């Protein structure tokens, strides 16, 4: 039977993402789906002014929440100001590796959060519950540095969401969650929030494991019984220095750029013809804040 890719239209722009530091990161993780590193300049920083313009534009569109990713967002010299600006508009989430956080920044952000009605969420990427399980993926010494970041966040009154990319069999999820919880308790984080993420076979991860096979695609018939909200592109867009893209995962694909302004980028449907779309189909909600600590119900047909 001929394969017809599924097509998704955005129902409403709930999530507006910013690739705030492009592909620049202080780490070079082996599973990074856009191969971020200290030397990857394929995407550049967004300026505070550019972000402010998009925030203004987002009001008319009724955006529900704002997300910042990179690279490492806290390499941006204006990151604290950008988050303070954003909290004037709505809730903000920042995805960080936790290794460069400074106490004075967090104190300022804690105060900014207290003074507004919105939540400022931190998602800290740690891919193992100790150095031997984390550092082979994220780099030597990164476990200790990231955990120090978590401690600083907790001391500053935040409840960071620890995100771990699954590099173990699905069947070990509960065991790994238990190990993470025990470790975080010991570090003073009494009620840790932990989110497990599927790996995306793109960028560095593609080299570390394998690429998506040609069968790992979402066909239109597969959408018949599925809640389309579980696809990020159904309710989100991301801004990079190249324009507005369909989702945070696919920014390196040329067809992901949907325009330069938000309104146009919300009006175009998107063909789900990428392997990563299949991961969204399998797991759903991979970019949202809530934990998805269950194994997927749908297998790899």
Partner 1 sequence: MTVRLALLGGIYNNYLALEAALRQASELGAESYYCLGDIGAFGPHPDRSFPLLHQYDVQCIQGNYDDSIGNELDDCQCGYTDARDNYFAQKSYDYTLANTSDENKRFLKSLPNELILEIESHRLLLCHGSPRRTNEFLWESTTPTHFLEWFFRERQVDFIAGTHTGIKWHQQTKLGRFVNIGVLGRPENDGQTNVWFTMVEVSRDEIRTSFHPVQYDHTRLSREMHQEGLPDEFIETIETGWWTTCLEILPQKERKAGQF
Which of residues 48, 64, 108, 145 is near partner 1 by CB under 8 A? 64
Determine the Cα–Cα distance for residues 7 and 253; give it in Å rounded to an integer.
16
State the nearest-atom distance from the C-beta of 147 to partner 1, in Å.
19
141: left (phi over 0), alpha (psi -120 to 50) or beta: left
CA distances from 284 to 70, 176, 269 (A): 21, 20, 19
119 is an interface residue for partner 1 by CB under 8 A: yes
91 is an interface residue for partner 1 by CB under 8 A: yes
Number of residues that bind partner 1 (CB under 8 A): 31
Handedness of CA 73, 76, 82, 83 (dihedral sign): positive
Which of residues 225, 290, 299, 301 is near partner 1 by CB under 8 A? 290
155 is an interface residue for partner 1 by CB under 8 A: no
Which of residues 34, 51, 63, 218 is near partner 1 by CB under 8 A? 63
9 is an interface residue for partner 1 by CB under 8 A: no
Helix/strand/coil (H/E/C) assignment for every residue in 227-296: CHHHCHHHCEEEEECCEEECCCCCCCCHHHEEECCHHHHHHCCEECCCHHHHHHHHHCCCCCCCCCCCCC
198 is an interface residue for partner 1 by CB under 8 A: no
Determine the Cα–Cα distance for residues 178 and 182; give it in Å rounded to an integer.
6
Q: Which stretch binds partner 1 (CB under 8 A): 39-47, 154-162, 259-267, 268-276?
A: 154-162
Q: Which two tokens stand for residue 106?
A: 């967090």
158 is an interface residue for partner 1 by CB under 8 A: yes
Q: Which stretch binds partner 1 (CB under 8 A): 69-77, 119-127, 162-170, 212-220?
A: 119-127
Which of residues 38, 77, 136, 157 is near partner 1 by CB under 8 A? 157
148 is an interface residue for partner 1 by CB under 8 A: no
Residues 196, 177: contact at Cβ < 8 Å?
yes
Handedness of CA 37, 38, 43, 49 (dihedral sign): positive
Handedness of CA 51, 52, 57, 60 (dihedral sign): positive
Give the SS3 label for residue 18. Answer: strand
293 is an interface residue for partner 1 by CB under 8 A: yes
257 is an interface residue for partner 1 by CB under 8 A: no
Q: Which stretch binds partner 1 (CB under 8 A): 152-160, 202-210, 237-245, 261-269?
A: 152-160
Which of residues 39, 191, 214, 254 is near partner 1 by CB under 8 A? 191
61 is an interface residue for partner 1 by CB under 8 A: yes
| Contact set with partner 1 (CB under 8 A) | 12, 58-65, 89-91, 113, 117-121, 157-159, 174, 191, 193, 285, 289-294
């Amino acid at each position: 039977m001929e394969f017809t890719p599924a097509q998704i239209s955005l129902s409403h722009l709930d999530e507006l993402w910013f690739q705030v530091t492009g592909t620049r990161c202080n780490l070079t993780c082996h599973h990074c789906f856009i191969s971020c590193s200290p030397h990857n300049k394929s995407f550049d920083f967004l300026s505070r002014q550019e972000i402010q313009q998009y925030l203004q534009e987002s009001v008319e569109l009724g955006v529900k929440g704002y997300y910042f990713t990179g690279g490492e967002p806290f390499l941006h010299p204006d990151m604290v100001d950008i988050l303070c600006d954003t909290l004037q508009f709505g809730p903000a989430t920042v995805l960080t590796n936790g290794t460069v956080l400074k106490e004075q920044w967090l104190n300022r952000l804690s105060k900014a959060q207290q003074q507004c009605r919105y939540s400022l969420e931190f998602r800290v990427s740690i891919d193992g519950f100790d150095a031997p399980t984390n550092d082979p993926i994220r780099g030597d010494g990164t476990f200790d540095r990231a955990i120090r970041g978590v401690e600083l966040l907790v001391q500053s009154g935040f409840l960071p969401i620890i995100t771990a990319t699954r590099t173990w069999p699905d069947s070990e999820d509960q065991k790994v969650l238990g190990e993470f919880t025990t470790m975080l308790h010991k570090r003073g984080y009494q009620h840790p929030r932990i989110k497990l993420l599927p790996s995306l076979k793109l960028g560095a991860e593609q080299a570390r494991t394998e690429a998506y096979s040609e069968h790992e695609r979402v066909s239109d018939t597969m959408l018949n019984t599925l809640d389309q909200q579980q696809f990020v592109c159904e309710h989100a867009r991301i801004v990079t220095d190249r324009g507005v893209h369909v989702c945070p995962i696919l920014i390196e694909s040329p067809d992901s750029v949907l325009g330069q302004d938000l309104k146009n980028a919300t009006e175009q449907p998107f063909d789900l013809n990428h392997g990563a779309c299949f991961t969204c189909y399998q797991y759903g909600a991979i970019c949202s804040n809530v934990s998805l600590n269950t194994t997927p119900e749908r297998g790899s047909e």
